[in-house]
Amino acid sequence: TGSKQLTVFDTEEELAVSLAKYTAGLSDKFTRERGAFTVVLSGGSLIKALRKLTESPYLDSVEWSKWHVFWVDERVVKKDHPDSNYKLALDGFLSKVPVPPNQIYAINDTLPPEGAADDYEARLKQLVWDHVIKVVPTSGLPCFDLMLLGMGPDGHVASLFPGHPLLKETQKWVTHITDSPKPPPERITFTFPIINASAYVAMVVTGSGKAGAVHKALSGGENTGYTDRLPVEMVELDQGEFTWFTDKAAVSM
Ligand code: 6PG
């Protein structure tokens, strides 16, 4: 199994500085090793936490032309809708850095949601075939270089919510959910097998609203009032390196 690390910053500002350095470091490593860097984004506060990458020195030093950008989850709305994770990432991050537009893989917003999930999975398979995304030889699963994840106050990651049957999905890489407790209810999401096949995962969690779920995840669930395993606790990398990026408020319990 993979390794785990916890980093705690005094402020969100310091976290953002460190996250930029970490991401740029992995970009250099994979660009050197394989001539490509596959990055998976989530929605929410994560995008703002990436802001330092759009500034000096990273704006000029990162090999943006080698980036291939994906989404771990998306809301079933049009790409220009205020709820769209694609729009959030484009406005807050991707429009400010020179990643080639044809290497930004948005989830198709013109298909019905089930079809869009299948379409995204098929595109991932094609990119594995084309050696853009690495593959885990033993399982055939895609191995993304870096997944940048957030966690909700209830311990959800991607659109995988506590107690939801999708937590047990083993076959599909990408699937569709119609009953998300966080609005909007219809979403498309990666499943645990492909999250856990990643080479690196950064779990970016700030603020006191997350302290309960962080406590449960870090303490193995004792005396926290939660009964079931939280989705965030199911991020157990097969081989990769998992790093928590938190601030003091998030670990205050
Ligand atoms: C989404 C996100 C989701 C997010 C968490 C944390 O579509 O809602 O991808 O998984 O990362 O809900 O969001 P915050 O960091 O904003 O709390």
Residues 27-85: tens digit of each pLDDT = 999 999 999 999 999 999 999 999 999 999 999 999 999 999 999 999 999 999 999 99
So what's the ipTM on this one? 0.96
Quick one: pLDDT at residue 115?
95
Q: Tell me the average pLDDT of the chain.
A: 96
Query: What is residue 39's three-state secondary structure?
Result: strand
CA of 127 to the centre of ligand 1 (A): 26
What pLDDT, on the 0 to 100 scale, is given for residue 31? 98
Closest-CA residue, ligand 1 atom 17, reads 152
% helix, strand, coil for the chain, step of 5? 40, 20, 40
| CA 34 / ligand 1 centre spacing (Å) | 30
d(CA 163, CA 211): 20
Q: Is the pLDDT of residue 221 over 90?
A: no
pLDDT for position 222? 61
Q: Specify the residue for token string 């759009």.
A: 54
Q: Which two tokens stand for residue 68?
A: 């291939």
Pairing of strands 146-150, 37-41: parallel
Residue with tokens 């013109």: 110
Residue 227 has pLDDT above 70, yes or no: no
The pLDDT confidence band at residue 1, using thresholds 50, 70 and 90, is: confident
Confidence of residue 224 (pLDDT cuts 50, 70, 90): low
Q: 138 alpha carbon to ligand 1 midpoint, in Å?
A: 31
The finding on whether 92 has its CB within 6 A of some atom of ligand 1 is no
CATH 3.40.50.1360 fits 3-251, yes or no: yes
Contact present, 175 and 117 (Cβ < 8 Å): yes
pLDDT of residue 41: 98
Tell me the mean pLDDT in the region 172-192. Answer: 96
153 pLDDT band, cuts 50/70/90, is: very high
Q: Residue with structure tokens 């500002």?
A: 13
Span 136-164, mean pLDDT? 97
pLDDT above 70 for 223: no
Residue with CA closest to ligand 1 atom 13? 44
What is the rounded average pLDDT of the residues 212-237?
A: 83
- Of 51, 76, 180, 182, the residue with max ligand 1 atoms within 8 A of its CB, to mutate for a pocket test, comes to 182
Locate the ligand 1 atom nearest the alpha carbon of residue 206 and give its number. 15
Q: What is the mean pLDDT of residues 199-209?
A: 98
Q: Tens of pLDDT along 75-125?
A: 999 999 999 999 999 999 999 999 999 999 999 999 999 999 999 999 999
85 C-beta closer than 6 A to ligand 1: yes
Ligand 1 test: best mutation among 41, 46, 77, most atoms within 8 Å of CB? 46
